[in-house]
Amino acid sequence: MTAPAPQINYPSALRRVLHPPLRETRFWIIQLIVLVIVVAHFIIDTDASSANGALGAAIPVAILVLPIGYAGLRYGLAGSFATAIWATLLWLPDLLLPHNEGHTGADLVNLLIVLVVSFVFGQRIEAERIAHSRIEEATQTALAVEVGYRRLFETNRSPILVLDDTGVVVDANPAAQELLGSSVIGSSGAGLTTDDRDFDALSGEVLTLANSHDYRLDVVSLPPNAAGLRRQLNFEDVTEERRTRHFAQLIVQVEEDERRRLSRELHDEPLQLFLHLARRLELLANVHGVPDEVTDGLGEARRQALDAAARLRTVSRDLRPPALDQLGLVAAVSSLVADLDDGDGPDVQLDVLGPSRRLAPEIELGAFRIIQESLRNARRHARAREVDVVIEFRAHSLELRIADDGAGFDPLDAARVASHSPSLGLVGMRERTRLLSGTLDVHSAPGRGTSVEVSMPLNAATEELHTLAT
């Protein structure tokens, strides 16, 4: 199947016809040859002695095809067509000769043929020049891309290997040779890891190489060449990232341990003291002979003690809800929603989608804290009347959605304020989501409420956290 001919830009060709290459000597030589042919033909036509002789057809019009064709080869359609127009203008005086001296009919037919041939010939040459130009441009672009790729390949500080279709290393950048040795080229890529799985299956996972650093593997299929299919292995050093993440996880763990300790101490000591105080006040108020005003004061003190005990119980439960450890995420969130419904907070609707099940402690704790912070923001800052909480259990992920009808805000302004504010609500939610390898999206606008959407992978996040912990 032949490739379609390149499209000619006729307006551009016409502009070149109207602006011939007047500064080129060869162009003028071609026009001079045309002039010589026309003048010679004119002289022969006007020579009465040769009117019926052998010279009458010695210089036919068709001979103009030679200079016009050469102009087409040299300058394309612009050259051939410009030369043809020039020849036509020069031939006009010959067409005005008397019938007995010139060959008007034959010259017109031949001249028309010359013009058609010059146009067809020039168009074909122009198409070939366009195709050749495009091939050169594509070649130059491919070379530039190859040079750019090679420069990136050589200067990249991450180790990069190129494997052929048999799994043999055919190329390695300096970083890879420094890490694995120059002998890595020509060796089998299977020896890079103790895992028996193929590199495509290992793509995205973290491997520990010979220098005891952790590298995230990325496998890219390269365009096939004469040697066949190739794969590029990119090793991204994530040692510091994992250490930073481990440190952040330890900070979160220390914070949660402190919350658990404070919750237990508040429940075991101050809460019990307030309840004991309320009981003693009740007993004193029931003693015979106590004046009524004292009884009223003791009753008011007892109510204040019970109110303080209730507040301590709420604080203790917020610090570390017992239901989270004992019954799981859904039970803890249900208890949180019930507490809000009992107070002056918004009307909260909880929906659980998918089969509810216990998850890893890190996942349940992170999800609970994000929901807790979102409900707190909806109550304190957004002054929402209704909040919808959706917990969806999927096969490989946990999806959360908390949407309210509150005042809303501009997320960009909130990000700028958060960077200079001691409040770490949204920042803390993002950090917890990041530590669990999840994603958090906040959609909001002034007067249009706020929606917080979170997606947490279950298997990968749990395994990563347990690996960091060990």
Higher pLDDT, 6 or 248: 248
- Within a domain: 372: yes
Q: Is the domain of 191 the same as that of 74? A: no
- Kindly tell me if the per-residue pLDDT of 92 is higher than 60: yes
Residue 356 domain boundaries: 327-470
Spatial contact of 71 and 82, defined as CB atoms under 8 Å apart: yes
User: What is the identity of the amino acid at 389?
Assistant: V
pLDDT at 67: 83
pLDDT at 281: 77
Domain count, the chain: 4
Q: Is 354 left (phi over 0), alpha (psi -120 to 50) or beta?
A: left
Q: Is the domain of 223 the same as that of 90? A: no
Q: Is the domain of 272 the same as that of 332? A: no
Q: pLDDT tens digit string along 37-80? A: 878 777 776 664 444 444 444 466 677 778 877 777 777 766 77
Domain boundary among 320, 352, 378: 320
Q: Is the domain of 349 the same as that of 335? A: yes
Element (H or E) spanning 234, and its range?
strand 228-237
Q: What is the mean pLDDT of the chain?
A: 76
Q: Is the domain of 310 the same as that of 230? A: no
* Distance, CA of 304 to CA of 296 (rounded, Å): 12
Q: Is the domain of 333 the same as that of 462? A: yes
Give the mean pLDDT of 218-224.
82
Q: Is the domain of 466 the same as that of 354? A: yes
CATH number of the domain bearing residue 198? 3.30.450.20
Domain boundary among 97, 128, 147: 147
Q: pLDDT tens digit string along 433-442? A: 888 889 999 8
Which of 63-77, 218-232, 250-264 has the least mean pLDDT?
250-264
- Within a domain: 294: yes
Domain boundary among 320, 352, 381: 320
Name residues whose C-beta falls within 8 Å of residue 51's C-beta, 6 or more positions apart in sequence: 45, 100, 101
* Distance, CA of 122 to CA of 422 (rounded, Å): 76
- Within a domain: 1: no
Give the mean pLDDT of 222-236.
78
- Within a domain: 4: no
CATH number of the domain bearing residue 387? 3.30.565.10
Q: Is the domain of 336 the same as that of 413? A: yes
User: What is the identity of the amino acid at 157?
Assistant: R
Q: Is the domain of 161 the same as that of 141? A: no
Give the mean pLDDT of 2-20.
58
Q: Strand 214-225 vs strand 206-208: parallel, antiparallel, or unpaired?
A: antiparallel
- Within a domain: 344: yes
Q: pTM for the complete prediction?
A: 0.49
- Within a domain: 299: yes
- Within a domain: 456: yes
Q: Is the domain of 223 the same as that of 298? A: no
- Within a domain: 3: no
* Distance, CA of 214 to CA of 238 (rounded, Å): 6
Looking up tokens 């180790």 gives 159
DSSP secondary structure string for all residues of 164-211: ETTSBEEEE-HHHHHHH-GGGTTSBGGGG-S--S-HHHHTT-EEE-TT
pLDDT at 138: 85
Higher pLDDT, 363 or 309: 363
Which of 102-111, 299-308, 451-460 has the least mean pLDDT?
102-111
Q: Is the domain of 198 the same as that of 269? A: no
Q: Is the domain of 252 the same as that of 231? A: no
